[in-house]
Amino acid sequence: MTDTSANRPGSATSLITPDARTKRRNRAEARFKVYGITAIGIGLLFLVVLLGSITVNGLGAFQQTFVNVPVYLDPAKLDKRGNRNIEEMKKVSTFGYNPLIQQGLLDKAAELGIETPLKKRKQMKAMLSASAAAKVRDFVLANPETLGQTVEFKLLAASRVDGYLKGRVQRKDVARDKNIDAEHLDLTDSLVAAGVVAKTFNLSFITGADASESRAEQAGIGVAMLGSFFMMLVVLVLSLPIGVAASIYLEEFAPKNRWTDLIEVNISNLAAVPSIVFGILGLAVFIQVMHLPQSAPLVGGLVLTLMTLPTIIISTRASLKSVPPSIRDAALGVGASKMQSVFHHVLPLAMPGILTGTIIGLAQALGETAPLLLIGMVGYIATNVPDGIAAGFLDPNSAMPAQIYEWAKRADPAYYERAWGGIIILLVFLLAMNIIAILLRRRFERRW
Amino acid sequence: MPVLWLFLIVLAIAALGFVLGRRRALKSADGESRRLHSLPIYYGTNAAMKVAVPALGLLCLWLLAQPLYVNSRVAATIPDAAIAEGSTLGLVMSDVRRVARGLDLAVVEGAMTAPQAASLDAETADVRQELASLGVALGSTVTADTLRAAQDYRAYSTTGTLMMVVAVLFAAIIGCGWALRETDRDFRARNVVERGILVLLIAAASVAVLTTLGIVLSLIFQTYEFFTLYSALDFFTLLEWAPSFSGRGGASSLGLLPLLWGTLYISMVALLVAVPIGLFSAIYLSEYASSTVRSFAKPMLEVLAGIPTIVYGLFALLTIGPILLSVFGDDTLGWMQGQRAVLTAGVAMGIMLIPFVSSLSDDIINAVPQALRDGSYGLGATKSETIKQVVLPAALPGIVGAILLATSRAIGETMIVVLGAGAAARLSLNPFEAMTTVTAKIVSQLTGDSDFASPEALVAFALGMTLFVMTLGLNVFALYIVRKYREQYE
Amino acid sequence: MYDAPNMERAVTASQTKISAQGVQVHYGDTHAIKDVDVQIEDKTVTAFIGPSGCGKSTFLRCLNRMNDTIDTCRVQGQIRIDGEDIYDKRVDPVQLRAKVGMVFQKPNPFPKSIYDNVAYGPRIHGLAASKAELDHIVETSLRRGAIWDEVKDRLDAPGTGLSGGQQQRLCIARAVATEPEVLLMDEPCSALDPIATAQVEELIDELRKNYSVVIVTHSMQQAARVSQKTAFFHLGNLVEFGDTGKIFTNPEDSRTESYITGRIG
């Protein structure tokens, strides 16, 4: 028999002076703790990098470079007959306006005494957004009396010029760029110094519509925001009542039988089905079988409803469960029917929890992209604000996350900035929804 | 919009039924509501319910069934000769529907009168031209068969809609009459209404089953159709993914394996990032952290879970990719060619999964009874020894379940791989290469311009089926493990 | 044979093992232990009795610093084991707990095999140099826990599969395996049936030969049966401490008398 008392942990040594083994074990303990701290540190670092790169890259989208150009609205060009007939003036396309604007910019540069080798009108094209002519034309058609005057317009600068001001376009890149030359950048520098070209807050990024691939400076997320809004309406109107009804049944009435079990299993599995599969469902059932219109927020809303339902059902059941049975007993005790006890007493008490769950479910749906790709909410370029409520539900549109995806796919890096900017807006919405949910929970939370 | 009007009319009849039912009940009790069996409101609700539920149910069913019925009726009239070489009945039918919709539009816009549209002749009129001027683009010129089928289609649809209106209104009025007839002071209105509500509740709860059924059926039908056009053996065994762009099958190789490999590889990278970080965070937060640290770090980590996946996709493409490229790229080590790579998508997905792993593990670690920890501390074990030798082994099944759930999330994730992983299917071990996944290919095969009857598009449903089966299996297994684990300590 | 290693410890029966002076314990705002002085002797069973919530378990947990795991708990005063203050900053609670083992109210075997349960302590403290030595420690401890004969054929079976009484004796064997000098028992029989209780009580009497045993119990009969010294706690105060026989037959304090005769409790 071995004598183990020699290495007894306690008796041989004093408690005050740890033995070598204890020291080693304590070092292992400290090491283990460091692993934990490191893991959390890395997790938080990722969060900081993520939010940091969103902010750094995205804030630029809220500012846009504008050029202040005095344009002489030449009646000889814009109204050849001289009779101020709007219908006839409409025949002059934006091609007729471009030279006037370009000339205006040339003149402005000359007036400021800026030396530039760019003497031709055509060379000014690279400075201005292709949308500039349309803006001037709209103005003229709305105000035909201004013909013959020189009007100062605040026009969007070209995407490259905007990129130069924001540091996205570097002088070394320009050599390979057919859209802009170094001379344009020199001119830009001078115009910035003169205050003709400047970056200002760009409201139309938030309210505007998407633009074609070559006009990054014009693109906005407003129309996609409307698409998301109509989708969320559909989700709210369908998933809240259906989810609450389903939860009430499962929590309060369902007998223990096979059908109930089947429903339970289905709900817990649907909660974990990849979102893209819901997209496939939407494509196959809503579009191919039911022939609902493609790219419509209605269909997007239906798909997202099916996706959000499990979330809402799970949280609603949790809040129904948290209402103590004594409340039900009290209602039944005064002769209310089971249905009355649920609808008059249990449901109102569970309402804050239900609303919190619904808002969180909606937030999840708002950020979801993959199923929307399949029902065609992405190939469509959201250029028009829907006219009317029905059109809002049925006309093709995009949604915020789908619009962000669309921008991220485009080749022009100018669109990346807009994608990041779109993310800021999306996250602001999500943040607001989550804060509302937290406030609701704080305000109405009840401990039984 | 006859459906909307019909809907509103039914609601109006229901409202009328409510008022009449209530009034009739009160009258039968001589205006003394105490003599009624139920509160007056229940008599009204009974009437409204009997109007609205059958009528609206019929409306929904009709809306679902009519296109199917009309489609099959019209499809039966199309002669085999009208289906061009390489085309299918499905393609012809989609043309037919497009023409029919064009004709509808033409009538609405006033470009044609209804009889004109019905008697339009492909021989005399250039239908394609005419519809194009209304903004309905057609892929090819309209053949006589297609036009006639489209006209049939419109005729059936119009008759069907008319019948629907009549049937629905009839149902509403019958329901109203029935409810009013049975309304009487002794009628147990509350019981009837409550039973009706219960039926509605059951119907709502069954939506989940219907959704699953819809998913399974749509996947099965389309997958079956795909396997009639493309060999199932090739799909499961070919080592190459190369769809031809012609969109008419033939030259395409549609092998699942490279996609599956990409999916699993990227998921593995994601788990390698998420599991250690998530697990150690959970251990630290639940065993070591003071309540202040916990109340700060836990919600911060959970912010990561609330961020939409499109954000992670963009983060992968525009932040992680360039960072990795600057470390492993051509300028330095030369291992990485582009910013889209397995590693790019994997890291982004891993970050997304950190809070998922950590909050699930946190729950599971907290479910280990304190008595076990006390037992270990009482023997003189340090915290880390207790965690490593008592808590983690006890929590192991639950943690395995959590990791399986995370795997299923990683496999089903779409946006991160669409943006971060690349488009080329490859069987390679190099994590710096671009690869693609099942989900990314589902998106690319279904969002292109190809029509839904070609194998190149239908393969997406077979891929979806694979994905569904894989994630479902993982989830069922993981939930089973987690549930068993929970029961052990309850 | 199996108590041979401890034969060489030359101790007299009345040597003081633990001495507590002026111990105060606070849980947040609750004052759980108020100024307790007590001397616990070696090779003696000391019982802590008193009504629920009187602080006897709290005080017991102070003796091996198990209260450290609770954030809000503060301990003041002095507790000395073999003359060393265990709340000294330099004392490692891990080393202390190896010296002062503990058995809990509810049997809490680890979800491992019986063998691994017992071997856990020796492994973490590095008590065995070889597998054979570990086997020996496990066997000795299981014998001391009076459970060897019941489990020797199924050492690989999970400890959680044993009956309640067996589990508790396994936990005692597990505590004994680290060769402690003091064994703290927190109501070790409260979750057991009478037969298992009798087995454990017999075991406690056996353990007295080698260890200083401190037992918290609700049952006065149990205290009378197993202990030589008894301390009566009431509302956080140590009301009376003395020989068990005296406390039960001739208590000095009226509260002790009331408790023992069943008027408070």
Length of chain C, in residues? 265
What is the distance between the alpha carbons of residues B215 and B197, in angstroms, rounded to a whole number?
A: 28
How does pLDDT run across B425-464, given as a tens digit for each residue? 888 888 888 889 999 989 888 876 656 677 888 888 999 9
**pLDDT of the residue at B125:** 64
Contact C66 B393 (CB under 8 A): no
**pLDDT of the residue at A3:** 41
What is the distance between the alpha carbons of residues A375 and A291, in angstroms, rounded to a whole number?
A: 12
**pLDDT of the residue at B86:** 58
- The string of DSSP letters for B31-46 reads T-GGGSSS-HHHHHHH
**pLDDT tier at C12, thresholds 50, 70, 90:** very low
B-chain residue closest to A10, CA distance: B380
Q: Answer yes or no: are the C-beta atoms of A277 and A204 closer than 8 Å.
A: no
How does pLDDT run across B248-291, given as a tens digit for each residue? 545 678 888 999 999 999 999 999 999 999 999 999 999 898 88
Set out the domains of chain B in order of their start, with CATH numbers: 2-187 (no CATH), 253-488 (1.10.3720.10)
Contact C125 A21 (CB under 8 A): yes
Report the domain count for chain C: 1
B108-117, B129-138, B285-294 — most confident range = B285-294
Residues 6+ apart with CB under 8 A from B355: A43, B278, B301, B302, B303, B304, B305
B476 vs A contacts (CB less than 8 Å): 269
Per-residue pLDDT averaged across C117-138, rounded? 90
A-chain residue closest to C88, CA distance: A16
CATH number, residue C36: 3.40.50.300
Q: Tell me the nearest-neighbour CA distance from B419 into chain C, angstroms.
A: 45
For the cut 50, the answer to whether the pLDDT of residue C2 exceeds it is no
Contact A420 B200 (CB under 8 A): no
How does pLDDT run across B1-18, given as a tens digit for each residue? 577 888 899 999 999 989
Interface test with chain B among A228, A249, A407, A426, by most B beta carbons within 10 Å: A249
A-chain residue closest to B304, CA distance: A47
Pairing of strands C229-234, C45-49: parallel
Q: Ramachandran region of residue B31, left (φ > 0), alpha (ψ -120 to 50) or beta?
A: left
A9 vs C contacts (CB less than 8 Å): 95, 98-99, 125, 127, 178-179
Q: Answer yes or no: are the C-beta atoms of A149 and A115 closer than 8 Å.
A: no
Closest CB to A47 among B68, B205, B303: B303
Q: What is the CA radius of gyration of chain C?
A: 18
Q: Is residue C1 part of a domain?
A: no
Per-residue pLDDT averaged across A367-396, rounded? 78
**pLDDT tier at A242, thresholds 50, 70, 90:** very high
Residues 426-445 of chain A whose Cβ lies under 8 A from any Cβ of chain B? 426-427, 430, 434
Residues 156-195 of chain B whose Cβ lies under 8 A from any Cβ of chain A? 190, 194
Cβ–Cβ contact C164 with B under 8 A: no
For the cut 60, the answer to whether the pLDDT of residue C46 exceeds it is yes
How does pLDDT run across C74-103, given as a tens digit for each residue? 888 889 988 888 888 888 888 888 888 899
Cβ–Cβ contact B396 with C under 8 A: no
For the cut 80, the answer to whether the pLDDT of residue B406 exceeds it is yes
**pLDDT of the residue at A48:** 95
Range of the domain at C60: 15-260
Q: Tell me the nearest-neighbour CA distance from C167 into chain B, angstroms.
A: 12
Per-residue pLDDT averaged across A144-165, rounded? 85
Set out the domains of chain A in order of their start, with CATH numbers: 62-201 (no CATH), 222-444 (1.10.3720.10)
Q: Tell me the nearest-neighbour CA distance from B399 into chain C, angstroms.
A: 15
Q: Is residue C63 part of a domain?
A: yes
Beta-bridge mates of residue C241:
C231
**pLDDT tier at A7, thresholds 50, 70, 90:** very low
Residues 357-396 of chain A whose Cβ lies under 8 A from any Cβ of chain B? 363, 366-370, 373-374, 376, 378-379, 390
- The string of DSSP letters for A353-403 reads HHHHHHHHHHHHHHT--HHHHHTTTTTS---S---SHHHHHHS----HHHH
Q: Is residue C3 part of a domain?
A: no
How does pLDDT run across B327-342, given as a tens digit for each residue? 887 777 778 778 888 9
In order of A77, A126, A165, A174, the CA distances from A171 in angstroms are 37, 15, 11, 5
What is the distance between the alpha carbons of residues B276 and B354, in angstroms, rounded to a whole number?
A: 9
Q: Is residue C191 part of a domain?
A: yes
What is the distance between the alpha carbons of residues C11 and A396, in angstroms, rounded to a whole number?
A: 92
Per-residue pLDDT averaged across A255-276, rounded? 88
B373 vs C contacts (CB less than 8 Å): 69
How does pLDDT run across A73-131, given as a tens digit for each residue? 888 887 777 777 777 778 888 888 888 888 888 888 888 888 778 777 778 888 888 88
Cβ–Cβ contact A408 with B under 8 A: yes
For the cut 50, the answer to whether the pLDDT of residue B220 exceeds it is yes
Which residue has 């910035």 as its token pair? A192
Residues 6+ apart with CB under 8 A from A47: B300, B301, B303, B304
| Beta-carbon contacts below 8 Å between A and C | 67
Q: Answer yes or no: are the C-beta atoms of A112 and A189 closer than 8 Å.
A: no
What amino acid occupies position A439?
L
Closest CB to C127 among A4, A11, A26: A4
In order of A228, A297, B1, B373, the CA distances from A394 in angstroms are 13, 6, 12, 60
Structure tokens at B274: 């998420």
Interface test with chain C among B377, B379, B392, by most C beta carbons within 10 Å: B379
Residues 95-114 of chain C whose Cβ lies under 8 A from any Cβ of chain B? 95-99, 101-104, 106, 108-112
Q: Tell me the nearest-neighbour CA distance from A413 into chain C, angstroms.
A: 53
Contact A280 B475 (CB under 8 A): no
What is the distance between the alpha carbons of residues C212 and B88, in angstroms, rounded to a whole number?
A: 91
**pLDDT tier at C1, thresholds 50, 70, 90:** very low
B291 vs C contacts (CB less than 8 Å): 71
For the cut 70, the answer to whether the pLDDT of residue C58 exceeds it is yes
For the cut 60, the answer to whether the pLDDT of residue A2 exceeds it is no
For the cut 50, the answer to whether the pLDDT of residue A10 exceeds it is no
B377 vs C contacts (CB less than 8 Å): 66, 69, 97
What phi and psi values does residue B433 have, to the nearest 5 degrees?
-90, 155
Per-residue pLDDT averaged across C246-250, rounded? 88
Farthest CA pair distance, chain A: 122
Residues 6+ apart with CB under 8 A from A431: none
For C151-174, what is the HEC assignment? HCCCCCCEHHHCCHHHHHHHHHHH
For the cut 60, the answer to whether the pLDDT of residue C9 exceeds it is no
Beta-bridge mates of residue C234:
C237
C180 vs A contacts (CB less than 8 Å): 10
Chain A residues in contact with chain C using a Cβ-Cβ cutoff of 8 Å: 1-5, 7-11, 14-19, 21-22, 25-26
Q: Tell me the nearest-neighbour CA distance from A12 into chain C, angstroms.
A: 11
Counting residues of chain C whose pLDDT is more than 70, the rounded percentage is 94
DSSP helix/strand/coil, C125: helix
Please measure the distance between the N-terminal and C-terminal CA atoms of chain B and give it in whole angstroms: 57
For the cut 90, the answer to whether the pLDDT of residue B139 exceeds it is no
Lowest mean pLDDT among A367-371, B229-233, B304-308, C140-144: B229-233
What is the distance between the alpha carbons of residues C40 and B176, in angstroms, rounded to a whole number?
A: 88
Q: Tell me the nearest-neighbour CA distance from C189 into chain B, angstroms.
A: 16
**pLDDT of the residue at C13:** 47
Q: Tell me the nearest-neighbour CA distance from B278 into chain C, angstroms.
A: 24
Cβ–Cβ contact B473 with C under 8 A: no
What is the distance between the alpha carbons of residues A212 and B395, in angstroms, rounded to a whole number?
A: 55
For the cut 70, the answer to whether the pLDDT of residue A370 exceeds it is yes
Q: Answer yes or no: are the C-beta atoms of C98 and A4 closer than 8 Å.
A: no
Residues 6+ apart with CB under 8 A from B222: A284, B458, B461, B462
DSSP A293: P
How does pLDDT run across B181-203, given as a tens digit for each residue? 888 777 888 888 888 899 999 99
Per-residue pLDDT averaged across B344-366, rounded? 92
Contact A5 C5 (CB under 8 A): yes
Q: Is residue C193 part of a domain?
A: yes
C-chain residue closest to A22, CA distance: C95
Contact B375 C108 (CB under 8 A): yes
* pLDDT, greater one: A5 or C142: C142
Q: Is residue C44 part of a domain?
A: yes
C98 vs B contacts (CB less than 8 Å): 379-380
Contact B380 C111 (CB under 8 A): no
C171 vs B contacts (CB less than 8 Å): 375
